[in-house]
Amino acid sequence: MISDVQLKVTDAKHFDQAKEVSSNYTDAQKSKIANAAKQFESMLTGMMLKSMDKTTDGMFGSDSFGGDYFSSIFENQMASMISKNKSLGIADILYKKITGENLDDKASASELLKLLNNEKIELKKSDNENTTITPSVKATNRLDKYDDIINEASSSYGVDKNLIKSVILTESAANEKAVSSAKAKGLMQLIDSTASNMGVKNVWDPKENIFGGTKYLSQMLRKYNGNMNLALASYNAGPENVQKYGGVPPFEETKNYIKRVIGYFNHLNGEDNGNERSL
Name the more confident of 211 and 130: 211
Q: What pLDDT is stored for residue 2 in this prediction?
A: 43
Q: Are 130 and 269 in contact (CB under 8 A)?
A: no
Bridge partner residues of 124 (DSSP): 227
52 pLDDT higher than 70: no
Listed in sequence order, the residues at least 6 apart from 40 whose beta carbon sits closer than 8 Å to its beta carbon are 90, 91, 94
**DSSP code for 128:** -
175 vs 216: CA distance, rounded Å: 19
Q: What pLDDT is stored for residue 102 in this prediction?
A: 72
**DSSP code for 179:** B
Least confident of 8-17, 42-51, 87-96, 216-225: 8-17
pLDDT band of residue 72 (cuts 50, 70, 90) is low
Q: Where in the chain is the domain with CATH 1.10.530.10?
A: 137-272
pLDDT band of residue 73 (cuts 50, 70, 90) is low
Catalytic positions are 171
Bridge partner residues of 266 (DSSP): none
DSSP string, 55-85: TTT-TT-TTSTTHHHHHHHHHHHHHHHHHHT
44 pLDDT higher than 80: no
Span 217-238, average pLDDT: 94
CB count, 10 Å around CB of 226?
15
Report the mean per-residue pLDDT for the chain: 76
Listed in sequence order, the residues at least 6 apart from 235 whose beta carbon sits closer than 8 Å to its beta carbon are 167, 216, 217, 220
276 pLDDT higher than 50: no
Q: What pLDDT is stored for residue 93 in this prediction?
A: 78
Q: Which of 3-7, 61-65, 177-181, 231-235 has the highest mean pLDDT?
A: 231-235
Query: For the domain bounded by 137-272, which CATH number is listed?
Result: 1.10.530.10
Span 95-123, average pLDDT: 59
Give me the helices (H) in the chain, please.
27-54, 67-84, 90-99, 103-106, 109-117, 137-144, 147-157, 161-172, 192-197, 206-223, 228-237, 239-245, 252-272
Cα within 13 Å of Cα(104), Cβ side: 7
Listed in sequence order, the residues at least 6 apart from 5 whose beta carbon sits closer than 8 Å to its beta carbon are 47, 50, 51
Q: What pLDDT is stored for residue 195 in this prediction?
A: 94
Q: What pLDDT is stored for residue 61 in this prediction?
A: 53
Span 158-173, average pLDDT: 96
Least confident of 36-50, 126-140, 202-216, 245-259: 36-50
User: CA 2, 4, 5, 8 torsion: positive or negative?
Assistant: positive
Span 264-272, average pLDDT: 88
Burial class (CB in 10 A: 0-12, 13-18, 19+), 93: middle
171 vs 231: CA distance, rounded Å: 15
